[in-house]
Structure 1
Amino acid sequence: MRVLFLGAGSAATIYGLTPLATAARNAGHQVMMAAPRNVLPDIAALGLTPFSVTSTPIPHFRTRDRAGNPVTVPDNAVEGRLFTGGWFGRLAAASLEPLLELAEDWRPDLVVGGTLTYAAPLLAHRLQVPYVRHAWDIKDFDGIDPGADRELRPELDALGLDRLPDPDLFVDVSPPSLRPAGAPPAQLMRWTPVNQQREVEPWMYTRGERRRVVVTGGSRGLNFDFVKAMVEKVSALGVEVVVAAPEELAAKLRDQLDGVRAGWIPLDVVAPTSDLIVHHAGGVTSLTALHFGVPQLAVMESQDSASHGAALDRVADLGAGRTLYPAEFTAERVGAACRDLLENPSYVRQARALSEEMAALPSPSEVVGALERLVA
């Protein structure tokens, strides 16, 4: 069986798809992962075969329409979700022709697309093969798909479709307690943390004398000033601060902040030794914290990220973390939220309860059987 996985333009999307892709390969199937060229090194480093769908920088799709005209990020959540669907739709439109060319020589029996990789259902429909939608985090896509339908109207019309095709199977990595009301039927799968590795040092996998707080802006590092501000506000609590960030950003932090450990630190190694993870509302980071039963504080940098806040609000509602929206990003609020999360043991209990719930879900190797049945 040939299985084509489709990721998007950040390493996080690749990490989310890797456990199932690796399980399919280990089961003896041929596996290829297609994505924008900027993340091909991430795919290759994880031992999978990469294929480039576009060399256009990902920010281009977010900031420009198809004609190259500038677009503006909306300032409200509803329009923000439609906007997200729109720019992922533009990425899909640019990806479709290279994928069809690939399929002429390497025809997949099954297409597995990450949550917002809208080229996947279009390609599967053209090839008349099953399509699997694979959640790469806990963020729901309610209100996003219509933006992609609108952006991809030319492609849908050419295929005689009113909207994007529904998947033949939806693989969801959310524990049942975090699935939103009205969530579509799904094949649930255990979340497996994946990230790029480096040689570890003893302090990464052992606890020190002080409580440890990990601060991260994700695999891309995001805005330097945003990450620096989070580090400064957390450091004031007298805890050990570890910053997981790309080396370029980490070097700037080490130059400007004394006594802060910063660098490309594998989150799956340092998370089990941590008391709190403060992050940029990243879906992969959030799931990794939950996997290890660590409380979390999700800080929304912008309205664009806040449009995905509902999923992280559910984590907060279950008592496993807290969220702060852009207007709440002040030194006082961050400090108060971190103190609460560190001092109230109920957050640890709830985070560990979700961790146990996740551990009971089917493994990626078990879910490969569901893929095989689709093709059979």
Structure 2
Amino acid sequence: MAWALQAAGHEVVMAASEAPVDPNLFKNIASAGLTAVSLGGKEELAESLAPALAAANSPNRRTAAIDPDDEDSWRTCQAMLTVLFNAHYPPEPAGGDRRPVVDSLVEFARDWRPDLVLWDPLAPTGAVAARACGAAHARLLFGMDNVGLVRSKMREEREDPASGPTEDPWMPWLEPMLERYGLDFTEETLLGQWTLDLTAARMSYPLDLSYVPVRWIPYNGGGSLPKWLHTRPERSRVVFTLGQTRRLFDGPQGGFPLREFFDSLSDLDLEMVATLNSDQLAAVGTLPDNVRAIGYVPLNQILPTSSAVIHHGGGGTSGACVAFQVPQLIVPIPLWDENIVARYIHRRGAGLVVDPAEMDVDGMRKDLVRLITEPSFRTGARDLYQGMLAAPAPKDVVPVLERLVTEHRG
């Protein structure tokens, strides 16, 4: 989206805090050809995020995932979102009155005077900064609109007389932030004046919000194309990736037996490309001749020559598979919307879903063989791709944004 705006002649900067989660954040922004603005706050965020990160990495971790089989799962999501919001924007700043991330963003916005602020749905500071400087503002979703769904459920519950009086759990951290800049609360502070939505139209939640569809364009960073990817493989190529989290699939014993799975493929006429970290490589030892273990390869380099992908259900991987029309075997690790996306891909005939609690080597092997031998999955992947093309590309969304900015700018 930033590239599209720049190509249309607009000035674009990407503002971010120095969060301890991604030490390469600013390097990645620069390598993408974008201008980065640091908001600081590294020490403060490290302190306030520590409890949330510890909870996220614990065996009994809670996530912000929505379970399509549990009508009450939005409450768990709400609780986790509240933890995240409180961690990023504590009501009482640590170490004094100044709030480095929020204050820095507002100060920069007032100096730079943007016409539009696009913000992550977990960073409503973007809306605060936009209102403080008179800019239009909108959310740019990274997946399903869990924040919008939870907010809708919260409002329904608070407006229901039968539920009794309930407090809004997001106001204790949000209202002090707004009052700091002389602003009052509006729902747009949490939901934007409109929302850029990259999810498939058939998969989106039925919410009464203003959405602008945008086509998913895979981006995995730049880099040289390895020589072994210069030509198409002589046999079916399968990619095994655990995504950026590098979490092992959750199995009955707490970890999927990778070595046993790779060995089970040794007699198949395929090439398995597995992205594994150093610990996983050490654990699996010597691999069969038809398994290539690598540390990392950008998906947009390898997917054009692949016949199937096995992955954990992350939105970036799923979206890239759709863009390159590759059937998917998904073992969803629920963090945000993985279960919903996996089921949607399965329903559309573009892949298979394996329950992490029930996965086993024989079942995974059989599912993989189906993906690369049954033509229906390739047909389903093509259909998903055609559906993706129905959404406008980022360059086609730029005129829409220009019109909306004219309508909404303060």
TM-score, normalization by structure 2: 0.73
- Partner Cα distance (1:62, 1:281) in 2: 25
Q: CA deviation at 1:81?
A: 1.9
Corresponding residue number in structure 2 for 1:89 = 85
**Structure 1 residues 280 and 165, CA gap change in structure 2 (3 angstroms):** same
- Partner Cα distance (1:249, 1:57) in 2: 31
Q: What is the aligned counterpart of 1:274 among 281, 306, 316? A: 306
Corresponding residue number in structure 2 for 1:291 = 323
Q: What is the aligned counterpart of 1:40 among 2, 26, 29? A: 26
Q: CA deviation at 1:314?
A: 1.4
Corresponding residue number in structure 1 for 2:211 = 186
**Structure 1 residues 321 and 63, CA gap change in structure 2 (3 angstroms):** farther
**Structure 1 residues 142 and 102, CA gap change in structure 2 (3 angstroms):** closer
2:191 is paired with a residue of what secondary structure? Answer: coil
Q: Is the 8 A contact 1:109 1:130 kept in 2?
A: yes
Moved more, 283-292 or 214-223: 214-223
Q: CA deviation at 1:307?
A: 5.9
- Partner Cα distance (2:150, 2:49) in 1: 14
2:106 is paired with a residue of what secondary structure? Answer: helix
Corresponding residue number in structure 2 for 1:216 = 241
Deviations 1:99-155 (A, max 9, x none): 1232243232211013433322233233332111112235754545579x7345332
1:198 and 2:184 aligned: no
Corresponding residue number in structure 1 for 2:172 = 153
Q: CA deviation at 1:274?
A: 0.8
Corresponding residue number in structure 1 for 2:11 = 30
Corresponding residue number in structure 1 for 2:274 = 243
- Partner Cα distance (2:259, 2:33) in 1: 33
Deviations 1:183-222 (A, max 9, x none): 7442212221101232212432533233111111223434
Question: Map of 1:134-173 to 2, 5 A cutoff?
Answer: 134-137=140-143, 140-141=146-147, 143-145=149-151, 150-151=169-170, 153-156=172-175, 158=179, 159-161=183-185, 163=187, 164-173=189-198
Corresponding residue number in structure 2 for 1:74 = 62
2:12 is paired with a residue of what secondary structure? Answer: strand
- Partner Cα distance (2:259, 2:403) in 1: 48
2:335 is paired with a residue of what secondary structure? Answer: helix
TM-score, normalization by structure 1: 0.79
2:195 is paired with a residue of what secondary structure? Answer: strand
1:177 and 2:183 aligned: no
- Partner Cα distance (2:34, 2:14) in 1: 7
Q: Is the 8 A contact 2:118 2:137 kept in 1?
A: yes
- Partner Cα distance (1:240, 1:257) in 2: 12
Q: CA deviation at 1:50?
A: 1.6
**Structure 1 residues 228 and 277, CA gap change in structure 2 (3 angstroms):** same
Length, aligned pairs only: 351
1:160 is paired with a residue of what secondary structure? Answer: coil
- Partner Cα distance (1:330, 1:42) in 2: 37
Q: Which runs of 5+ in 2 are unaligned?
A: 68-72, 90-98, 155-167
- Partner Cα distance (1:60, 1:172) in 2: 32
Q: Is the 8 A contact 2:332 2:354 kept in 1?
A: yes
2:234 is paired with a residue of what secondary structure? Answer: coil
State the Cα RMSD in Å. Answer: 3.5
